[in-house]
Structure 1
């Protein structure tokens, strides 16, 4: 059985990953590093409350078989692009670097459809840069999950997001437009976990088309 590490466990996708890991018999332990408690009690769960600005105080505890990296925030919540970059890029890269140093062999990162380090769009450029920097760490297995619009219960629901998702649901499901199709966070979590248990080595990128293909195999 595998030991999983998870950051971002209170977020939309991260909370679904945690839920599914706890019920997955292929995983014996789940170590969650989080700023706020998940309020979950389970014999497989070890929750460590941390300050991501003080990684050196707890980085030696980041050990296991696979790191699920689902940490993130919004521009509105963070207050500035610089602050969002600090959380979405820097924190995740620093944890991944420590994990690699401690012998973790696999990483599954929640990225974004159209992530590109050269994008003119800040969010997509940030995600693309993070992918580039994570790939350079040289994990035995690196998997970038690149979903489109996410559906599920959010801690901070936004009206504009609800409207956008409703409109996107009205669009016909035309092949080639998968990056615009809303996808359930629970389905993304399922794909993350299945990617983690595969034995293949190297770098794998699952774009929306590939994610939906994996979901159909459930």
Structure 2
């Protein structure tokens, strides 16, 4: 294979691992990342584009190749308000997905969340569900929506609750609710790549426990 990948959310927990894996994967000859500021990454296969996510004119023509990977997302705390979180988690993602389809990109891989449901009473899972539904209607040749459980990994911004929650959740889910056990960022990143290299024409949604299986597919 000689694939060109586009990545949004490249500076996040999963996105960083994804870019690292893509750079080391012989099936991908070019990796194009869209970011708000210089990441400091340098590699012969890498193109970095500093853009304004809300301004399609700054990135629309650059979005080309074989696949769009999205690990873009934020929290209310980081965004500052529900409106800002919605802009990042839904509007920016959907704009990139629509333009990718218009530009002829055939593969689209989205990191969603367990519990994603457009009718959810919980704001976060409702946003994720709305986006899942919206991109499902765009008509990508290969669409993969991954719904991992709680993401674990080495975050730049440490979360105090996570230091307590992740070990407890890992212990509890050894016995019950195994489907919802925390998942490492590297595992999700591997799954994202595998779903492109070995697509499943009959499946578009990968639930929490299935993401683990997908990561070991190749």
Same fold (TM over 0.5): yes
With normalisation by structure 2, the TM-score equals 0.95
Partner of 1:153: 154
Partner of 2:122: 121
Query: Structure 1 residues 195-204 or 27-36, which shifts more?
Result: 195-204
**1:6, distance to aligned residue in structure 2 (A):** 0.3
Over 3 Å counting, the alpha-carbon distance change for 1:66 and 1:215 in structure 2 is: closer
Cα root mean square deviation, aligned = 1.5
**1:202, distance to aligned residue in structure 2 (A):** 5.8
User: Following TM superposition, where does structure 1 have runs of at least 4 consecutive aligned residues deviating by more than 4 angstroms?
Assistant: none
**1:187, distance to aligned residue in structure 2 (A):** 0.6
State how far apart, in whole Å, the 1-side matches of 2:65 and 2:173 are. 43
**1:197, distance to aligned residue in structure 2 (A):** 1.4
Partner of 1:106: 107
**1:215, distance to aligned residue in structure 2 (A):** 3.7
**1:216, distance to aligned residue in structure 2 (A):** 4.7
Where do 1:157-168 residues align within 5 Å?
157-168=158-169
Secondary structure of the equivalent of 2:40?
coil
Query: Structure 1 residues 50-59 or 4-13, which shifts more?
Result: 50-59
Partner of 1:140: 141
8 Å CA contact 2:191–2:216 kept in 1: the answer is no
State how far apart, in whole Å, the 2-side matches of 1:166 and 1:149 are. 12
Where do 1:62-77 residues align within 5 Å?
62-77=63-78
Partner of 2:97: 96
* 1:45-99 deviation digits (Å, cap 9, x = unpaired): 0000001121123201100100001111111010111110000110010011111
8 Å CA contact 2:22–2:28 kept in 1: the answer is yes
Where structure 1 has 5 or more consecutive residues not aligned to the other structure, the ranges are: none
8 Å CA contact 1:141–1:202 kept in 2: the answer is no
Partner of 2:55: 54
* 1:115-135 deviation digits (Å, cap 9, x = unpaired): 111111110000000000011
Where structure 2 has 5 or more consecutive residues not aligned to the other structure, the ranges are: none
Secondary structure of the equivalent of 1:130?
helix
Over 3 Å counting, the alpha-carbon distance change for 1:172 and 1:60 in structure 2 is: closer
Over 3 Å counting, the alpha-carbon distance change for 1:7 and 1:202 in structure 2 is: farther
